Amino acid sequence: MALVKNDTTIQVLQHVPYPTLASHASWTPYLKLTEFSQLAHYEQQGWRLCTILFEPCRTLTNKSTTTSSSALAHQQAMDFKQWLIQTVSTHADTAIQTCKKTEPKDPYAPIFTAMTFGRIQEATTMAMQQDDYTLALFLSSPLSPNNALKQRVNIESKNTKDGKKKKMSVYQAKIWQALCGETDLTLIHGLDWKQALVLYILYGKTRSGEDPLDTLIGRYIKDTKYIKNDDNNKNEKELTLSITSRKERDASPWYNAIQWWWQRTYNNQKLDTVHITAWPSRLAWRFVISFRDELSTTMITDIMRRWCTDLQAIGLSEWALFSSLFTSSKEMVVSILSRSPFIANEYNIPVSWIKEAEEAWQKSLTFKKDTPSIAQSL
């Protein structure tokens, strides 16, 4: 809260305080707080994601006005890849073991599964255990998709004997498809949406001069935008994310934030809502005050109210009052003051609001005094 306050200026217009968070306000300092390591992993990943996507020095404006724009874009892409792997890899071990049981005849199945969770070291080790040192080399030190494409052709030619072509196994073919940068619906068929996103981000092709995240996230969104439910065309129906996985993805606050950022940054779409109600309240509050001018009043008010309620519940009424000012809502400010009327008025809150809050407080005391206790009622 102190970090936000230091980056905030409060202007009084017609006796009402209007706080504004500075456009250069950084997300990075939050990650350096001693309390940060005590947060749940889920919330830590949320703060990291917002830092990667919304840090002012990484905005499209700054990218386009500095000589190091390409370096900034590639560093952002690297940080996002690392964040994505950290976020999804917690379920990798179980998935790999399950895959070994369900696909016992294809030794490449667990290797591919490890790749979908960003577990490259495990995938490399398993490739070496299969004596496939060429694959291990490509996994551990990814070469260009063109080199992978040439290697795949070599493998396929070696698999030809007496004029008969021996096909790669299903998962061996998928592995080389990913290494060749051929990310599409055939590659991600049957995968959870998070695994599919990992493949698109880690192995998708980009051209020189392109912003990697624009290209890779945009391709993923476009390819997985629609669900095909035509039972008369089973092949087409299979080449997409499952309905269950799609619903889980669309309900994910992290995915919604990523999609909102991509649409806002690269498509110039000003969307006034983003589904982040499942975010921890302090993170959601920090987000909405950063983009207050773009988001709907209803969304901002709901998140502000939740955060202020949480602050009051732990006795931080002063910070609740400060937080509520970002809504410029008389109702919310009076509500907080009516529960804590002795907060110092350092924000130039209108006297009429304070009097209204004091009256509400006095009424609450009278109500409590006139209401018999449980013991008196017995």
Q: Concatenated DSSP letters for 8-29?
A: EEEEEETTEEEEEE-TT--SHH
Q: CB neighbours (10 Å) of residue 269?
A: 10
Amino acid letter, 161: K
pLDDT for residue 231:
43
Distance, CA of 247 to CA of 9 (rounded, Å): 41
Q: Which of 276, 262, 290, 254 is nearest to 77 (CA)?
A: 262
**What percentage of the chain exceeds 70 in pLDDT?**
88
pLDDT at 195 over 60: yes
Annotated domain spans of the chain: 2-86+265-370, 87-261
pLDDT for residue 14:
83
Would you say how long the chain is, in residues?
378
Q: Quick one: average pLDDT of 331-346?
A: 82
Which conformational region is residue 141 in: left (phi greater than 0), alpha (psi within -120 to 50 degrees), or beta? beta
The residue that leads in pLDDT, 156 or 81, is 81
pLDDT for residue 233:
45
pLDDT for residue 158:
82
Whether 330 and 355 have beta carbons less than 8 Å apart is answered as no
Distance, CA of 220 to CA of 137 (rounded, Å): 27
Sign of the alpha-carbon dihedral angle for 336, 10, 54, 316? negative
The residue that leads in pLDDT, 165 or 346, is 346
pLDDT at 245 over 70: yes
pLDDT for residue 367:
52
Question: Tokens 């002795």 map to which residue?
Answer: 342
pLDDT for residue 243:
72
Whether 42 and 60 have beta carbons less than 8 Å apart is answered as no
pLDDT at 372 over 90: no
* 3-state DSSP assignment of residue 64: helix
pLDDT band at 240 (very low <50, low <70, confident <90, very high): low
Phi, psi of 102 (to 5 degrees): -85, -20
pLDDT band at 236 (very low <50, low <70, confident <90, very high): very low
pLDDT digits (tens, 9 = 90+) for 253-294: 899 999 999 999 998 888 888 888 889 999 999 999 999 999
pLDDT at 237 over 60: no
Element (H, E) at 187: helix 185-188
Lowest-pLDDT range of 67-81, 123-137, 190-204: 67-81
**Distance set, CA 106 to CA 99, 152, 164, 356 (Å):** 10, 18, 21, 73
Distance, CA of 218 to CA of 271 (rounded, Å): 17
Lowest-pLDDT range of 206-220, 246-260, 353-367: 353-367
Distance, CA of 22 to CA of 31 (rounded, Å): 19
Q: Quick one: average pLDDT of 142-148?
A: 85
What value does the mean pLDDT of the chain take? Answer: 86
User: Tell me, what DSSP letter sits at residue 169?
Assistant: P
Whether 128 and 140 have beta carbons less than 8 Å apart is answered as no
pLDDT at 123 over 60: yes
pLDDT at 204 over 50: yes
pLDDT for residue 340:
78
pLDDT for residue 190:
87
Question: Tokens 């998070």 map to which residue?
Answer: 194
pLDDT for residue 164:
67
338 contact partners, CB below 8 Å, separation of at least 6 = 356, 357, 358, 360, 361, 364
Q: Which of 364, 285, 298 is nearest to 326 (CA)?
A: 285
Whether 321 and 333 have beta carbons less than 8 Å apart is answered as yes
Q: Which of 220, 201, 214 is nearest to 264 (CA)?
A: 214
304 contact partners, CB below 8 Å, separation of at least 6 = 285, 288, 323, 324, 326, 327, 329, 332
pLDDT at 344 over 80: no
pLDDT for residue 375:
40
Looking at 109-201, which runs of residues are DSSP E strands? 160-161, 164-165
Q: What's the predicted TM-score (pTM) here?
A: 0.85
pLDDT for residue 167:
85
pLDDT digits (tens, 9 = 90+) for 2-57: 999 999 999 988 888 899 999 999 999 999 999 999 999 999 999 999 999 999 88
Whether 338 and 360 have beta carbons less than 8 Å apart is answered as yes
> In this structure, what token pair is assigned to residue 3?
């970090």
Amino acid letter, 101: K
